Structure 1
Amino acid sequence: MRVTDLFCGAGLFSAGFSAADFEIVQAVELDREAVKSYSRNVSPNVVQGSVTAHKPVETDVLIAGPPCQGFSTLGRMDPTDARNNLSLEVLRWAKDSDAKVVVIENVPPFLRSPQWALLTRRLRRLGYGIETWELNAYDFGTPQLRRRAFTVASKVGVIGRPAETGPGKTAGQAISDLAGLDAGDDALHVWPEPRGVAAERIALVPPCGDKRDIIRLAPDLCPPSWIKMGCQATDVWGRMDPNAPANTLRCTFQNPSKGRYLHPTLNRTLSLREGARLQGIPDSWQMSGRGYPVARQIGNGVPVPLAAAVARQVAAALH
């Protein structure tokens, strides 16, 4: 069974399909470092560039994860974001590749966007039936709470949503064995060393604590905006609860001001490898690039266990 992946990133979605015995025949990604990572870990059948500039090859399944920034509640939800319309490129690829099944992954608000309405209307005209799934990666073995929406367009009949495989590990179970390793013991087990005020703030955060503890213990280390906001945005500068799944992993998970991304016990943010573990990425994977470009490759992807569950469901429909 052949699969083509658009907006493929570092290949997490593709990895799930590879695990379900699909052959990657084509993948397209704009980010140069992500393409290198994809080629290293998933398949050499990947090209760097815009999906608007490449031609499809024949495939059985077309998968796509178009940019979500304009739809995500973690972003600006900007309806004028030029990237929003890139999802419509799926139409040309579906038609020209003769795909039997099309799977589009995005954040849940995408299903309520005008782009989704237009996209699905035109897919129906091409002969596809449409189903939608909203799935939480934690229910499919990922140690992270991450809700994703899948639009499944099929010419082979209705494809039912995958059955939940059971909850994933807790965040602590997923990363605790990495705590004793030094930075650099693994090329991805690295993190930005906190300095100055940032280091002082982190040292004050107790287990499962957050910004509110810093305000309480050392108001002199807090900007006026924190005091003004009070109990809003309480996950920022927060430690992960080792006994619960991680919150949704963003591309900025190595910045403590962006969420609950402090290590459960150590005075630092998560390492890149720890972030990869929370996305279900095998330890054998090595990424191209350094720092934020790698964090973006990790945080932008579909958790591999969730991708594999979707892929198995599509494979069953094709057999």
Structure 2
Amino acid sequence: MIEMFSGAGLLSYAFTMEGFEPIQAVELCPHAADTYRRNLGPHVVQADIRNVDPVGPCDIITAGPPCQGFSTLGKRQQNDPRNFLSFEVAKWAELTGASVVVIENVAAFLDSPIWERLARRLRRLGYQVDAQVLNAVDFGVPQLRTRSFTIASKLGLPEITPLRGGCRTVRRAIDGLGSPAAGNDHLHRARPLSPLAEARIRAIPPGGDKRDIMKRRPELAPRSWWNVHSEATDVWGRMELDAPANTLRTAFINPSKGRYIHPTADRMITLREAARIHSIPDHWQFCGPDSYIARQIGNSVPPRMGRAVARAVAALFSRQTSRRAA
């Protein structure tokens, strides 16, 4: 298999658990490429995808092209030049003769003209194309994270079914980690906060958010918060212990970016806790500064979710082998 826009390699990792062997990966971010290399091997190329050629034929291509232009956060930028990188996937599919192509992106990608054009190109290459929106929590990931998966296949279309097991709550995900002050795990450290941020967090009860700061400690709330049309209320929010987390985005180390405060402690969740909530195993080794590790987690496909897709794709190849043997 070949992975384009590979990030830290967690989708490749999910596919290896179902027997696929990566032969090439391409990633622009040096830190993410280093993470891929450390965990999966030296076949990753750190470069702009437009400057790289596939190493040769392959059975499957996976890709997670940039999603910023399609995201529902802020204004969607339909003309963002990064959007057009998605067309590289069709180009590589033609060059490699891949039997199956898997494209992961935000759900809004499916409503874009870019997706329509990409699907048409893939159909012209002889693929059946289907797309669906999946929620990570249905695959044993303790996170409400919806993502689109576009499958282009010459072997028929797969049936992606939920996985049994896993965990569905933040409590179960972070169980056993203990205090960030104990142990030697560099990913399980509490990030320093400003005195103002610490005071705000102390004012937030279990399950609360910035509205509780405004009620309990109004002097800590900036004037902009009192604007009816100000930012979303789900910021400066505590995660709920016995529920799935909200979507982990790339800036989850910042309390102003969502519901990323620890359920009971007066601190942000650690990178290790975030990795657990993303179903990333503790043995996975990340490279780069904390902010880049947060991006790698927030941009990646949770491995349990990816494995369900990989299992469905593997079934297509198994059926093809059975037909040939019959």
Interval of TM-score (by shorter of Structure 1 and Structure 2): over 0.9
When structure 1 is superposed on structure 2, of 95-104 and 231-240 the one drifting more is 231-240
TM-superposed deviation, 1:311: 0.2
- Equivalenced residue count is 317
Q: Does 1:205 align with 2:204?
A: yes
- Alignment gaps of 5+ in structure 1: none
Alignment partners' CA distance in 1, 2:184 and 2:13 = 25
Asked if 2 retains the 8 angstrom alpha-carbon contact of 1:69 and 1:75, the reply is no
TM-superposed deviation, 1:184: 6.5
- State the match for 2:260 in structure 1: 261
- State the match for 1:192 in structure 2: 191
- State the match for 1:23 in structure 2: 21
Alignment partners' CA distance in 1, 2:297 and 2:182 = 18
- State the match for 1:96 in structure 2: 95
Q: Assess, with a 3 A threshold, how the Cα gap between structure 1 residues 196 and 6 changes in structure 2: closer, same or farther.
A: same
TM-superposed deviation, 1:80: 1.8
Residues 123-162 of structure 1: pairs in structure 2 closer than 5 A: 123-162=122-161
TM-superposed deviation, 1:231: 8.5
Q: Report SS of the residue matched to 1:23.
A: coil
Deviations 1:194-245 (A, max 9, x none): 1221111011111111101100011111111101137961210110000100
TM-superposed deviation, 1:161: 2.8
- State the match for 1:13 in structure 2: 11
Q: Does 1:273 align with 2:272?
A: yes
When structure 1 is superposed on structure 2, of 255-264 and 174-183 the one drifting more is 174-183
Alignment partners' CA distance in 1, 2:42 and 2:164 = 31
Deviations 1:260-307 (A, max 9, x none): 000011111111111111111110112111121110011100000000
Q: CA RMSD in A?
A: 1.5
Alignment partners' CA distance in 2, 1:72 and 1:280 = 23
Q: Kindly provide the amino acid, as one letter, of the partner of residue 53 in structure 1.
A: N
Residues 302-313 of structure 1: pairs in structure 2 closer than 5 A: 302-313=301-312
- State the match for 1:70 in structure 2: 69
Asked if 2 retains the 8 angstrom alpha-carbon contact of 1:133 and 1:161, the reply is no
TM-superposed deviation, 1:181: 3.6
- Alignment gaps of 5+ in structure 2: 319-326
Q: Report SS of the residue matched to 1:240.
A: coil
- State the match for 1:55 in structure 2: 53
Alignment partners' CA distance in 2, 1:218 and 1:279 = 33
Alignment partners' CA distance in 1, 2:305 and 2:14 = 7
- TM-score, normalization: structure 1? 0.96
Q: Does 1:37 align with 2:35?
A: yes
Alignment partners' CA distance in 1, 2:183 and 2:77 = 39
Q: Percent identity among equivalent residues?
A: 51
